[in-house]
Homo-oligomer: A and B are copies of this chain.
Amino acid sequence: MGASALTGPVEIIGTGLIGTSIALACRRAGLEVLLTDAAPDHVRTASGLGAGRPREAVDVPQLVVVAVPPDALGAAIRQTLDAAGPETFVTDVGSVKGAPLDAVASHPAVSRYVGSHPMAGTEHSGPLSASAAMFDGRPWAITPGPDATPAAVHVVEALVRVCGAVPVHLPPGEHDRAVARTSHVPHLMAALVAGTLAGATPAHLALSGTGVRDVTRVAGGDPRLYSQIIGGNAEAVAALLGEVRERLDLVLEAVAGKDRVGLESLLAYGQAGTRAIPGKHGAAPQPMEAVRVAVPDHPGELARLFADAGASGVNIEDVRIDHDPGRPVGLVELDVIETRAEELRVALESNGWTTHR
């Protein structure tokens, strides 16, 4: 069952960054969108952006998306279930899934509630930073409780697909442990690094490169919002942060003790971790093929090859060069997706290159 289970209307409660982006994605798909927010100005802004129209009392949404800040979430889901008719399903998009479910576990309508969580967003807040494309290709967790009906799960999964995201099903507690690792602890570590910059001299800060910007970027997010999110996942976060502190002690010992081997192995463990992060869409790697090209050993010939390869439109995934000590010719291997290898060969040959089949 794909996106067609969602026919609308969709009501968005909380027209902040995430709520408004979901609204824009639904409008992009031609669905009717109703907007609700405690602040009428936010509804006007979101509506002005094309995200939908203000909800009226007579409206009967098919799906309500509760997108309010974490501390207000449990109560907002409860009130939504109170007001929802038998045809209305409810989801929320909070960053922690255990607590909201606990807040409504005994509600008579809980079977129509399925929590979810899009892994998307920026360090900005508010509807003006929203985008219909916010969730394209992103993972979006779906975390039904034990009482949720399949129909409710299907409608929420359809929302995820309408927003262009990739559904990832897991139980609420497991979700919370996962995001402690993939989101909350990284955020705290980024904030710790950023904190060392807060009092630094301008002369030192002048030597900032892309590395420190990358490491600290996420720490630019709203402290009040993130203290709610992380505070709401305290157990999982504290457990993992304790492990990190022990490893930090090992790093400190290795640096202070000039233990190069120890330091290198800790860095290697980190490098392995960066390779564990899945590629786009969590897609399986595609089979590659090596296109072999003879490259004369003159200045600039390699550059010319890469320019011609770039012009072919076939993406080069990796390159190996074998210089032949006996002759002034090198063999270059260009790794491309198997199905496009011949296309690249033909393009290069038309530019005078010699390829090997």
Contact with B along A239-262 (1 / 0, CB 8 A): 011111101110110011010100
| Complex CA–CA separation, A224 to B49 (angstroms) | 50
Chain B nearest CB, measured from A141 CB (Å): 6
In chain A between 35 and 54, which residues have their CB closer than 8 angstroms to a CB of chain B?
40-41, 44-45, 47-50, 52-53
Q: What residues of B have a CB within 8 angstroms of the CB of A285 in the complex?
A: none
Q: Which of B188, B209, B231, B245 contacts A119 (CB 8 A)?
A: B209
Among the stretches A73-81, A103-111, A193-201, the one at the interface with B is: A193-201
| Complex CA–CA separation, A338 to B324 (angstroms) | 60
User: In chain B, what residue has the closest Cβ to A228?
Assistant: B260
Chain B nearest CB, measured from A236 CB (Å): 10
What total of chain A residues lie within 8 Å of the partner, measured CB to CB? 120
B299 touches A219 (CB 8 A): no
A282 touches B182 (CB 8 A): no
Tally of this chain's copies? 2
A49 touches B274 (CB 8 A): no
Q: Is A120's CB within 8 Å of the partner chain B?
A: yes
Q: What residues of B have a CB within 8 angstroms of the CB of A182 in the complex?
A: 197, 200, 204-205, 207-209, 212
Q: Which of B215, B277, B302 contacts A197 (CB 8 A)?
A: B277
| Complex CA–CA separation, A247 to B190 (angstroms) | 12
Q: What residues of B have a CB within 8 angstroms of the CB of A191 in the complex?
A: 251, 266-267, 269-271, 273
Among the stretches A4-12, A149-157, A171-179, A344-352, the one at the interface with B is: A171-179
B197 touches A178 (CB 8 A): no
Q: Is A218's CB within 8 Å of the partner chain B?
A: yes
Contact A181 to B200, CB < 8 A, known contacts A245-B252, A273-B194: yes
- Which among A177, A190, A230 has the highest number of chain B CB atoms within 10 Å? A190
B214 touches A302 (CB 8 A): no
Q: Is A314's CB within 8 Å of the partner chain B?
A: no
Q: What residues of B have a CB within 8 angstroms of the CB of A211 in the complex?
A: 183, 186-187, 190, 217-218
Q: Is A203's CB within 8 Å of the partner chain B?
A: yes
| Complex CA–CA separation, A237 to B249 (angstroms) | 13
Q: What residues of B have a CB within 8 angstroms of the CB of A302 in the complex?
A: 45, 48-50
Q: Which of B215, B231, B243 contacts A218 (CB 8 A)?
A: B215
Q: Which of B223, B249, B252 contacts A271 (CB 8 A)?
A: B223
User: In chain B, what residue has the closest Cβ to A202?
Assistant: B278
Q: Is A138's CB within 8 Å of the partner chain B?
A: yes
Q: Is A310's CB within 8 Å of the partner chain B?
A: no
B49 touches A300 (CB 8 A): yes
| Complex CA–CA separation, A188 to B192 (angstroms) | 12
Q: Is A295's CB within 8 Å of the partner chain B?
A: yes
Q: Is A321's CB within 8 Å of the partner chain B?
A: yes
Contact A41 to B216, CB < 8 A, known contacts A182-B197, A230-B263: no
